Amino acid sequence: MTAQESIQKLLTPAGIQINGSQPWDLQVHNDAFYRRVLAGGSLALGESYIDGWWDVTALDQFFTKVFLIGLEQKIGHDWHFVLQVLRAKLLNNQKYGQAGKNAQQHYDLGNDLYSAMLDQRLVYTCGYWPAADNLDQAQEAKLDLVCRKIGLQAGQRVLDIGCGWGSWAKFAAEKYGAQVVGITVSPEQVELGKKLCAGLSVDIQLQDYRKITGTFDHIISLGMFEHVGYKNYRTYMQVVRNHLADDGLFLLHTIAGDISTTTTDPWIDKYIFHNSMLPSAQQIIAATEGLFVMEDWHNFGPDYDKTLMAWWQNFDQQWPELQAKYGARFYRQWSYYLLACAGSFRARRNQLYQIVLSKHGREGGYTSLR
């Protein structure tokens, strides 16, 4: 069996044809592609796409079909993957001092990129779409949902771990009269966030979560837990508990995988989120055991598909303004990232959890909000 025949055999259960006529079919421009992918797995698949060796008209549909049949588990891993697994086992790749370097690779790419891609509030986490017609509305709904879930009241002091450009902090201060401390390890985010939140009761700081001081009425974290690392999950939860008021609530908003892992996809690790990893439900529960009472668990993972597609459409439409700075290879890399992730959520291989926790359990119970 030739390498091309082997790849076709893998793709056939997904209804994907090599050089076929459907929008999800693979169009191969370099015959070396087949052996490269068989030898290198997902890393080679992504790198060969960046190199222009293959195309798909609807990349999101291609990945949806691929994830639905679990193809990522059937293609072999190369030595990069083996090295990554060993590194994760032997080292703490998200230790204090390293976490900032990991995040800056992604979040300091350029505020112009994120301004072009995201909504008007610069929210870089999943939107909430049940009653939304567009990205701006979906992100406003998500920010408000977080406020309502923690029962936010005027004057309360809230910590936002991994605050990004201060989108939730600004919303909570403007709409609810909250006092917010936001922390991030990205200097670019701190600089712009301070400007966007000027004049409000918002203090955005360049700080690792392990250096938090003080006590807060509530604590939230939107889209940061994916960078904590499995060796630090318990430490993270202990830090949150130590700085949360006894009657306060902690809201954790995180992407999650369906199985427990200690690494991430090698292409994502190399090109997008270095040393990141998705927690599983089991890992989250284990990290909170004995520290928190689970008050509410909300999964709206399919909304991330819509969010990612909206981000890609914005990125694609604004690309003429970005291409001189970032270049053609970056366009392929970033499109691959956004559309592959959309496919993973559409196929329900990834989830989006919003979890509400309390230290001692809410007296009389907690009312779930949706």
Q: What ranges do the domains of the chain cover?
A: 3-76, 99-358
- Of the pLDDT bands very low, low, confident and very high (cuts 50, 70, 90), residue 58 is very high
| Mean per-residue pLDDT, 332-353 | 97
**Positive/negative CA dihedral, 339, 124, 332, 93:** negative
Mean pLDDT (the chain, rounded):
92
174: nearest Cα among 196, 205, 159: 196
Q: In this structure, what token pair is assigned to residue 308?
A: 């990612």
- What lies within 8 Å, CB to CB, of 24 at 6+ separation is 15, 16, 56, 57, 58, 61, 62, 64, 65
Phi-psi region of 364 (alpha: psi -120 to 50; beta: other; left: phi over 0): left
pLDDT at residue 79 greater than cutoff 70: no
With beta carbons less than 8 A apart as the criterion, state whether 123 and 145 touch. Answer: no
66/171 Cα distance (integer angstroms)? 38
The residue behind tokens 């193809």 is 71
Q: Which amino acid is at 213?
A: T
The beta-strand segments (E) located in 81-185 are 157-161, 179-184
Is the pLDDT at 102 greater than 60? The verdict is: no
Fold (CATH) for 99-358: Rossmann fold (3.40.50)
pLDDT digits (tens, 9 = 90+) for 237-296: 999 999 999 999 999 999 999 999 888 889 999 999 888 899 999 999 999 999 999 999
The CA–CA distances, whole Å, from 136 to 133, 169, 240, 368 equal: 9, 16, 30, 24
Judged on CB neighbours under 10 Å (0-12, 13-18, 19+), 117 is buried
Check pLDDT > 80 for residue 73: no
Pairing state between β 27-28 and 54-55: antiparallel
Q: How far is CA 250 from CA 25, 146, 196, 292, 343, in A?
A: 44, 10, 25, 9, 30
Mean pLDDT confidence for 69-92: 54
User: In the predicted model, is pLDDT for residue 28 greater than 80?
Assistant: yes
Q: Is the pLDDT score of 172 beyond 90? A: yes
Instruction: Just list the catalytic residues.
Output: 341
Band (pLDDT 50/70/90 cuts) for residue 80 is: very low
Cα atoms in the Cβ-side hemisphere of radius 13 Å centred on 309: 18
| Tokens coding 352 | 């989006």
Q: β-strand 244-257 against 350-358: which pairing, if any?
A: antiparallel
Radius of gyration from C-alpha coordinates of the chain: 21
